[in-house]
Amino acid sequence: MNSIELQNISVSYRLVRERPHSFQEFVINYIKGKRTETWTLWALWDISLTITKGESLGIIGSNGAGKSTLLKVISGVLKPMEGRVRVEGTIASLIELGAGFDPELTGRENIYLHAAILGFSKKEIDAAYQSIIEFSELQDFIGTPLKNYSSGMVARLGFSIATEVHPQILIIDEVLAVGDAHFNKKSKERIEQFREKGVTILFVSHNMEDISYLCDRVVWLTNGKIQAIGTPEKVIADYLSVSAT
């Protein structure tokens, strides 16, 4: 059974080469007939990919390769310009640090806010609340507004919420990169537990050791296109050989 199926997915952005520095400059340029030059960037191009239920898939590539865009499409945050997306199962995603949080609210309030966004009821959040706090190790800061948290603390809270609500599909984008060594170890152990329970995992990281350890298969993206798909050993070796040149 497939958890995720992408058919010919393409996503583009219209970019401006040079923006006017002020409204006055915009008006002067308009009067002179000077138009703002735009161009189209294809963040993803004709991506077709099938991810089976219970598979742990690593996604690698250089900055700007399309990794985060791909995760946003799968999560439903971003609608593709072309193609079809089919996802079966509840999703918990950690794509952008702080996404789904309100910096003015406390950690406690953000637990309820973020879990509700993930689709869980107040009763379910109440049942998981204490476990979320204990795993995040933020007991002393849970009443503090999130704007006073470090990036590592935000990542710990987000990871703890997303993984405590027991999703069928877990999507993680570089969240382990901002945590300390102790919490990263705990996080990897929890991800491994999800793998054993048959949760489908999509994992983006620049840490090839984590990718190799946590993933069954790896996709390498280059300029929005799939460069290679295969075993972690083969794809990572090819990727590193190209990156080193």
Percent share of the chain, pLDDT over 70? 87
Rounded distance between C-alpha atoms, residue 101 and residue 183, angstroms: 20
Residue 16 is predicted with a pLDDT of 64
**Res 36 pLDDT > 90:** no
DSSP label of 145: B
Residue 32 is predicted with a pLDDT of 64
2-243 CATH, one of 3.50.50.60, 3.20.20.80, 3.40.50.300, 3.30.390.30: 3.40.50.300
Residue 29 is predicted with a pLDDT of 61
**Res 27 pLDDT > 70:** no
pTM comes to: 0.84
Beta bridge partners of 49: 6
Q: In this structure, are residues 1 and 52 in contact, taking their beta carbons and an 8 Å threshold?
A: yes
pLDDT tier at 244 (50, 70, 90 boundaries)?
confident
